[in-house]
Amino acid sequence: MMEQAVLRLSPSSLTPDQLKENHEALKKEQRSEARTMFRLTLPAILIVGLLMVAPIGWLLSMSFVGQDGRLGFENYVLFFSEAVYREMFINTFIIAFVVTVICLILGYPVAYLMAILPSPWAGFLMLAVLMPFWTSGLVRTFSWLIILQRNGLVNQMLVWMGVIERPIALVHNMTGTIIGMVHIMVPFLILPLYASMKAIDLNLMRAAANLGSTPAHAFRRVYLPLSMPGLIAGTIMVFVMCLGFYITPALLGGGKIKMIAQRIEESLALYPTWGPAAALAVLLLVMTAVCLGVSLMLVRRLTAES
């Protein structure tokens, strides 16, 4: 019995009609399987689609509606004509740039050490990097408020060391905003960097040394280029996330530092018109998409080359 069943499945012993029937049955089965599987993804798609994709499409359309209800670029023109908006854009980019550069300087050595140290030490470093990653951004922002305040730890230390004569303003300004944002962003740079460094064969560095290059030279010519994909991915991720930052600038900037996200929130809270806020939102989204797209392209090209 069993034998026959198996035989009937072998194509050579089937008549063309049976073959066709078999083929169709298989196709039908495949289609019903695809349907079942699609149904399984449906709840997740509904949640994300209804609450994120659809309203973003709506924002896009709203951004072209002016105050008088007519279609046009009125909201976008606003950004170029009004100094408030110009200043906010410049502010946002300066902060994002400075934070990214500081994160690079702080993060690269940590990722490097994490990649070359033996297991227990590397694990310890990883835990230390992930630790702030887990903790709430609000808690960390509050900590910085305590540390950076006028009679806080940092000011006390600086006065005690004789660097400054009396406490300086470290918080509720640009300095505080940047210190707090770097603290939140460094892990986002370290993790992708570490992933690409972990894949580098350290024998390559030995080979370079054997061939007569100094450690610094070998690092620059061998290690740095090989870590480039992670470096680009991490850098752009940090930069993009900085562009859309809300909590830290709102609290550590003391209302003086205005970035895009705060301006969006503010214009929605203060004015009933959605147009300018929608246009700002669309700009933020486009900048994010462009940055991520460029980084993806660069990383692909670099990994394809090596």
Q: Kindly identify the residues of this chain, within the stretch 12-51, that bind another protein according to CB under 8 A.
A: 33-34, 36-38, 40-41, 43-45, 47-51
Closest to another protein by CB, 12 or 153: 153
Nearer to another protein, 38 or 73 (CB): 38
| Shortest distance (Å) from residue 68 CB to another protein | 21
Amino acid letter at 175? T
Name residues contacting another protein, limited to 140-169 (CB under 8 A): 140-147, 149, 151-153
Residue 115's nearest CA partner among 16, 174, 193 is 193
For another protein, the closer of residues 257 and 264 by Cβ is 264
Q: How far is the CB of 35 from another protein (least distance, A)?
A: 10
Number of residues that bind another protein (CB under 8 A): 82
Tell me how far apart the alpha carbons of residues 33 and 93 are, in angstroms, rounded to a whole number. Answer: 49
**Which has the closest alpha carbon to 126: 135, 114, 136, 134?**
114
Instruction: Considering the complex, state which of residue 19 and residue 130 has its C-beta at the smaller distance from another protein.
Output: 130
* Buried-exposed string 257-292: b where 16+ CB fall within 10 A, e elsewhere: bbbbbbbbeebbeeeeebbbbbbbbbbbeebbeebe
Cβ distance 240 to 291 under 8 Å? yes
Cβ proximity to another protein, 20 vs 27, nearer residue: 27
Of 77, 109, 220, 290, the one binding another protein (CB under 8 A) is 109
Among 183, 227, 275, 276, binds another protein (CB under 8 A): 183
User: For residues 212-241, which are near another protein according to CB under 8 A?
Assistant: 215, 240-241
**Smallest separation (angstroms) from another protein to the CB of 271:** 13
Closest CB 72 distance from another protein, rounded Å: 21
Over the window 56 to 95, marking each residue x when it contacts another protein by CB under 8 A and - when it does not, the resulting string is x-xx------------------------------------
Q: How far apart are CA 172 and CA 182, in angstroms?
A: 16
Question: Taking contact as CB under 8 A, which single stretch among the options 3-11, 66-74, 129-137, 168-176 is the one that binds another protein?
Answer: 129-137
Show the site string, 241-260: x = touches another protein by CB under 8 A, - = not: x-xx-xx--xx---------
CA angle centred on 31, ends 29 and 35, rounded to 5°: 115
Phi, psi of 71, deg, nearest 5: -75, 145
Task: By CB under 8 A, name the one of 21, 24, 29, 265 that touches another protein.
Answer: 265
Q: Token pair 């902060």 is at which residue?
A: 95
CA distance 202 to 125: 19
Contacts of 45 (CB under 8 A, 6+ apart): none
- Residue 179 CB, nearest distance to another protein (Å)? 9
Of 94, 92, 95, 69, nearest in space to 263 by CA: 92
Instruction: Give residues 273-302 in contact with another protein (rule: CB under 8 A).
Output: 277, 281, 284-285, 288, 292
Q: Which of 2, 71, 83, 139 binds another protein (CB under 8 A)?
A: 139
Of the candidates 59, 55, 51, the one whose C-alpha atom is nearest the C-alpha of residue 282 is: 59
